[in-house]
Amino acid sequence: MMSDGPVDIVLVEDSEHDRELALHVLRNVVSRDRIKMLHDGVAALQYLLPEDDPEGQRASDPPRVVLLDLKMPRVDGIEVLRRLREDARTRRVPVVIFTSSQQAGDVAAAYACGTNSYVVKPVDFDEYSARLRIVVEYWLHHNVDSVPAGATE
């Protein structure tokens, strides 16, 4: 799903089932063309930190929030988060770890790398839907951006 306009939500999730489930919930909060679904950490890095964008073209219109799974093949969520925080183009983009892992080491690593929030995916569909909706509504409607669109630092 590719959008030519601004993207509010980037979801990075390797499970096709979980991507479809998230899309079902997200499209009730934001229009589908403002959601970018990515299947792994490599795709996330290519989209959010494109090598052909040295002047930071993408940074002028970053997503409002990145929902990032941890346990992915090729490049895991912790590495994606670390790279996002190291790059000036994405350093301030809110990243929410949205994962099934409740391991203390994963939680600690995510916060050490600069996640804004760590949310465990519930197994129950209704709980999953409610939790994801709360997270997205917070970042899209209640959080005050640190650098509002059009403002300079």
Cα angle: 98, vertex 73, 78; to 5 degrees: 45
Phi and psi at 6, nearest 5°, equal -65, 145
**Model confidence at 2: pLDDT above 70:** no
Number of domains in the chain: 1
| Residue 59, pLDDT score | 46
Mean pLDDT of 115-143: 94
| Domain annotation covers residue 88 | yes
Which 3 state secondary structure label does DSSP give 117?
strand
**Model confidence at 5: pLDDT above 70:** no
Question: What does the pLDDT look like over 74-124, one tens digit per residue?
Answer: 999 999 999 999 999 999 999 999 999 999 999 999 999 999 999 999 999
| Residue 62, pLDDT score | 87
Residue range(s) defining the domain that contains residue 24 = 9-142
| Domain annotation covers residue 19 | yes
Q: How would you list the strands of the sheet with 9-12, edge to edge?
A: 35-38, 9-12, 65-68, 95-99, 117-120
| Domain annotation covers residue 3 | no
The pTM of this model reads 0.86
Q: What is the CATH number of the domain that holds 128?
A: 3.40.50.2300
**What is the residue-averaged pLDDT of the chain?**
88
| Domain annotation covers residue 82 | yes
Question: What does the pLDDT look like over 21-57, one tens digit per residue?
Answer: 999 999 988 888 899 999 999 999 999 999 865 555 4
| Domain annotation covers residue 2 | no
| Domain annotation covers residue 1 | no
| Domain annotation covers residue 132 | yes
| Domain annotation covers residue 17 | yes
